[in-house]
Chain A
Amino acid sequence: MLQEGAGRKKITYFDNACQTLRPKQVLEAINQYYLKSSACSGRSMHSLAAEVTRECDQARTAVAKFLNAARKDEVVFTRNTTEGINLVANSIGLQKGDVVLITDKEHNSNLIPWQTMAKRQGIVVKIVPSREDNTFDMDAFAKMLAQQGQVKLVSFGWTSNLDGVTIPAAEVIKKAHQNGSLVLLDAAQTAPHHKMNVKALDVDFVAFSGHKMLGPSGMGVLYGKYQLLEKIDPFLVGGDTVLSSTYESCEFLPPPEKFEAGLQDYAGIMGMGAAVKYLMDVGFDAIEKQELLLNEAITAELKDFSRLKLLGPADPRLRGGIFSFTIEGVDVHRIALMLDQMATIMVRSGQHCVHSWFNARQIKGSVRASLYFYNTLEEAALFTSSLKKIGKVL
C-alpha cells in the first residue's frame, strides 16, 4: 500500500491511530487459514480441525508472550477493544452505587459502556480530570480514590488516542489495588507502540484491538487475570462456551473458552498471532525510537507556526506517535482534505471518538497525525511543508 503504482500516488499514511497497515506476514497468515486449513477449531476431530486448533493455540500463546501473561488462558479473543471493555463492564458484577473511575479524555469505547451501566445498574461514573497540559493528574486520581468511597473499578485509557499521552499505569494500578479497586486498561493505543508487561504491572484487565497494531480488523484481545476470569460470568454465551448442557442448565468451560461464544474468527486469530510476532521481531525499543524521531522532527519544524495549536503536552516525548493540532480559524476537515489532495497525506480530522473532551471544551475537533514505525523522515518533512503552505494560504 505504501508503494506508488497501480494508478495511485505514493501515500503518506499518518492515520495509524485509527488503524495501521498490515505486513505481508499477517496477510499470509490470514490467507493460510482460508487457503489451507479452513475448518473449525476445537470441535471436530479430523486432521484439518486439529491443525486449526494448533494454529489458534499458537496465536494465543504468542499474544500471551507479547503481554508477558502468566498463562495463555488469560488471553480472551474478542472482536476489538470495545467488546473487551463491554465484556468486563457486563461481567464483573457491578452493583448499584459501585463507583467506576475514568479519565476526562476517554475514547467512547471506554465511556459509553459505563454510562450505560450507570443507567441500567445504577453505578456511579466519576471523571478524573487531566492536568492543564492534558497529562495524567496523579494527585487528582489519588484524591478521588480516597474520596469516592467504594471504587469498584478504575478503567483508564492507557495511551490516549487524542494526544498520545500515556498514563503512569504502574502507579495507577498500585494505588487502585491499595484501595481495593480493580483496574481495566484500554490499551488500544498502547499495544501497538509500547512494551506491555501485565505480570509486572499486576493489572487486572487489558483490552486492545488488532487493527491498530498491524493485525486484522475485527480482532481484539481481552487480557484478564486468570483467577478473575474464572470468577466472572461470561457476557456473551452460546456455542463453544460450555462443556455440556441440559434443558435446564449448562456447565461453562474454563477461561478463555467460556468468553468466546460462537464460531471464532480463526483467520483473524492467526493474523493476530502473526502481528504480535512481527511487532516483537521489530522490537518496541525500535518502534518507540522511530516514532519519537518523527514526532520530534515534526514538532521542531512547526514550532514557529504561531497559528498552530498543539493538543497535549509540548514535549514530543510525552505524546508518543501522536501530533494532534488545530490551526486558528481553519476548519480541521479542510486541513485534512487539503493534505490528502496536495500530497496524499492521510490524517484524521474531527473529534476522534473523544467527543466528550471536545464538547466540554467547545472545540470542534482537531487534525491528528498518528505516526508509526514504518513512517519516514521524508514523509514527516512532506507533512510539515504541506502544512506550512496551508498556513500561508488559509
Chain B
Amino acid sequence: MFCIVSFVVLGILGIFSASNRQLAGESLDCVLRRVTLRPCNTGFDEKMKAKILGFVIVRSEGGARLLNRFFEPLSWVFFVLLMASSIWSVRGLYLFYTTGSCNGLNQAGFCVFDPKGSSNQVSGVLQTCKVNPPTQADLTLKGVDLSGFPVLNADAADKIVFIGCYHCDFTRKTYPLVRQLVNKYKVSFTFLHYPVKEPTDYMTRLGMCAYQQDQAKYWKMNDTFFSTDKANLDDTSWMQTTLAGLGFDTVKLNQCVADPQTEDTAKKQMAEITKTKFYGTPTVFINGEATVGPKPYRVYAILLRGLFYWLR
C-alpha cells in the first residue's frame, strides 16, 4: 500500500522537483509490480521507510518507534485516506466544473478552486428575519404565474427564468452570460426584475411599460441597462436620453410609469416573484433547476445542454 500512496504523493511533488520525480518513477515501478502480483523487490519501500524514520527520529524517538512498529497499518490508513480524499477531490472537481462550487449547486461551503465563494454571492432580498428563511431547496417555479413578465423566444422548449435587479452587482455579472446563452441556443428567456435595492422600484415599472410599448426595444433597453455604468441608472437625464435613443416614446413611457395601475400591477408581479421563495439575486431557473449567484458560463450551459455542451 505504501508504494501506491508514495506514487501519488511523489508524482505530485515530482512536478516541482527532479529528485522526487526519480522517486516517483521508482514508486511506479513498485506499484506496477504489486498490481501484477509480483513482489516489490526494488527496495523502494525500504528506502522511503528509512528516509521517513530518519526524519522522524531526530524530532521524536517515541514517534519513530511507533512509526516503525505500525508502519504497515499506518500505510493502510494513509491508503484509505488517500483513496477517500482522491474520490472526494474528483467529486469536488466534477461539482466545481458542473455547478461552480466543489460542494454542489448553490452550496456555499469552502471550495479550494473558488476560495472566495464568488459563484455563490448574492444580493440578499430585503426581508424581515424569519424563523425558517427560504433555502435553495425551497426555490420553485411551481404556482408562479409568469404570464405578465417579459419573455423572449416564448415558444422554445428550453426555458430560462431570470430573477435579477438592474442595480445588483452579481446580477450585472450574470446577465450577459445568460443572454449569450439565450442568443446561442434560442431558448425561452423570461426576465423578472426584482428591486432588491429600494430606489429601483421605478425600474420595475419602467420595464413593464417599456415591454408593453415595444418588446424588441425592451430587450435592447435591458441589455443597455446591464451594460452601462451602474451610476447612469440613477441619472434621470441619461435615462431619458437613452430611452429616446432606443426609439421609445418617452412621454407615454413616463405617463405609464406614473400610472397607479402600473404600480398595482408591479406589486402583483412582486408578489408572484416572491412565490419562487428566492432569497437573493441573481436567481436563474434553467428548465426549472435553480441557480443562485453568479455562476460561470459553463454552469448555465451544462444545465441547459448537458456536460458536453461544447460538443453540441
Tell me if B46 and A333 are in contact (CB < 8 A).
yes
Tell me if A394 and B68 are in contact (CB < 8 A).
yes
Interface set of B (CB-CB < 8 Å, partner A): 43, 46-47, 49-51, 53-55, 57-58, 61, 64-65, 68
27 A-B contacts (beta carbon < 8 Å): A333-B43, A333-B46, A333-B47, A334-B46, A335-B50, A336-B50, A337-B47, A338-B50, A338-B54, A338-B57, A339-B54, A341-B51, A342-B54, A342-B55, A342-B58, A343-B58, A389-B57, A389-B61, A390-B57, A392-B61, A392-B65, A393-B53, A393-B57, A393-B64, A393-B68, A394-B53, A394-B68
Name which of A339, A389, A393, A394 has the most chain B CB atoms within 10 A of its CB: A393
Distance in Å from the Cβ of B68 to the closest Cβ of chain A?
A: 6
Contact pick for A334, options B50, B58, B61, B64, CB 8 Å: B50
CB closest chain-A residue, reference B63 = A393
Distance in Å from the Cβ of B19 to the closest Cβ of chain A?
A: 13
The answer to whether the Cβ of A340 comes within 8 Å of any Cβ in the partner chain is yes
The answer to whether the Cβ of A331 comes within 8 Å of any Cβ in the partner chain is yes
- CB neighbours (8 Å) of B47 from chain A are 333, 337
CB closest chain-B residue, reference A389 = B57
Distance A350 CA – B302 CA, assembled complex (angstroms): 60
In the complex, how many residues of chain A place their beta carbon closer than 8 angstroms to a beta carbon of chain B? 17
- CB neighbours (8 Å) of A339 from chain B are 54
- CB neighbours (8 Å) of A389 from chain B are 57, 61
Q: Give chain B's interface secondary structure class.
A: helix
Q: A392-B65, A393-B64, A393-B68 are in contact. Are A334 and B49 (CB under 8 A)?
A: yes
Distance A389 CA – B58 CA, assembled complex (angstroms): 9
Distance in Å from the Cβ of B44 to the closest Cβ of chain A?
A: 11
Contact pick for A337, options B50, B58, B64, B65, CB 8 Å: B50
Distance in Å from the Cβ of B170 to the closest Cβ of chain A?
A: 48
Distance in Å from the Cβ of B32 to the closest Cβ of chain A?
A: 22
Tell me if B61 and A341 are in contact (CB < 8 A).
no
- CB neighbours (8 Å) of B55 from chain A are 341-342
- CB neighbours (8 Å) of B61 from chain A are 389, 392-393
Chain A stretch 313-353: residues in CB contact (< 8 A) with chain B: 331, 333-343
Distance A109 CA – B210 CA, assembled complex (angstroms): 98
Distance A392 CA – B68 CA, assembled complex (angstroms): 11
The 7 closest A-B pairs by CB, nearest first: A341-B54, A337-B50, A338-B54, A334-B50, A393-B64, A342-B54, A393-B65
Distance in Å from the Cβ of B61 to the closest Cβ of chain A?
A: 6
Distance A334 CA – B47 CA, assembled complex (angstroms): 6
CB closest chain-B residue, reference A349 = B50
Tell me if B65 and A338 are in contact (CB < 8 A).
no
CB closest chain-B residue, reference A337 = B50
A285-317: CB near B (< 8 Å → 1, else 0) gives 000000000000000000000000000000000
- CB neighbours (8 Å) of B50 from chain A are 331, 333-338, 341
- CB neighbours (8 Å) of A331 from chain B are 46, 50
Distance A335 CA – B57 CA, assembled complex (angstroms): 12
Tell me if B43 and A342 are in contact (CB < 8 A).
no
Distance A327 CA – B46 CA, assembled complex (angstroms): 16
Distance in Å from the Cβ of B2 to the closest Cβ of chain A?
A: 14
